[in-house]
Structure 1
Amino acid sequence: MCNLYSNTTTQELMRQLFSGLTDRAGNLAPGQFYPDQQGAIVRHGADTGLELVKARWGMPSPPGVLKTQRDPGVTNVRNLSSPHWRRWLRPGHRCLVPLTSFAEPVKGGNQWFTSVDTDAHMFFAGIEVRGWTSVRKVKDGETTDDLFAFLTCAPNAEVGAIHPKAMPVILTEPEEWETWLLAPVEVAATLQRPLPDGTLQLVPTPI
Structure 2
Amino acid sequence: MCNRYRNDKAIATLFEDFSQVELFADDGHSRGRNEPFLTEFFPSYAAPIITRDPEAGLRLEEALWGMPTPPQFLKTKTGKPMSYDPGVTNVRNTNSPHWRRWLGVEHRCLVPFTSFSEPDAAHKLHWFDFVGDAPPVACFAGITDTLSRQIKARDPEPTSGRFYAFLTTEPNAVVGPVHAKAMPVILTTPEDCRIWLSAPWEIAKALQRPLPDQILRLMSEA
Question: Which TM-score band (shorter chain)?
Answer: over 0.9
Identity %: 46
Match of 1:164 in 2: 180
- Give the superposition deviation at 1:87: 0.6
Match of 1:25 in 2: 31
Once residues 163 and 85 of structure 2 are traced to their aligned partners in structure 1, the CA distance between those partners, rounded to angstroms, is 12
Report 1:55-74 matches (<5 A): 55-67=63-75, 68-74=82-88
1:52 to 29, 40, 60: 60
Rg larger for: 2
Match of 1:34 in 2: 42
CA contact (8 A) 1:28 1:40 kept: no
- Give the superposition deviation at 1:44: 2.0
Once residues 23 and 158 of structure 2 are traced to their aligned partners in structure 1, the CA distance between those partners, rounded to angstroms, is 35
In the alignment, is residue 137 of structure 1 matched against residue 152 of structure 2? yes
Moved more, 46-55 or 86-95: 46-55
Residue segments in structure 2 that go unaligned for 5+ positions in a row:
76-81
SS of the residue 1:158 aligns to? coil
Q: Tell me the TM-score normalised to structure 2 length.
A: 0.87
- Give the superposition deviation at 1:108: 6.7
Q: Which amino acid is the alignment partner of residue 91 of structure 1?
A: V
Q: Tell me the TM-score normalised to structure 1 length.
A: 0.93
Once residues 36 and 221 of structure 2 are traced to their aligned partners in structure 1, the CA distance between those partners, rounded to angstroms, is 21
Structure with the bigger percentage of strand: 1
- Give the superposition deviation at 1:46: 8.3
* Count of aligned residue pairs for this structure pair: 205
1:85 to 79, 94, 99: 99
- Give the superposition deviation at 1:73: 0.5
Match of 1:126 in 2: 142
1:80-100 deviation per Cα after TM superposition (whole angstroms, max 9, x unaligned): 111111110000100000000
Once residues 164 and 62 of structure 1 are traced to their aligned partners in structure 2, the CA distance between those partners, rounded to angstroms, is 23
Q: Which amino acid is the alignment partner of residue 147 of structure 1?
A: F
SS of the residue 1:92 aligns to? helix
RMSD: 1.7
Once residues 119 and 103 of structure 1 are traced to their aligned partners in structure 2, the CA distance between those partners, rounded to angstroms, is 17
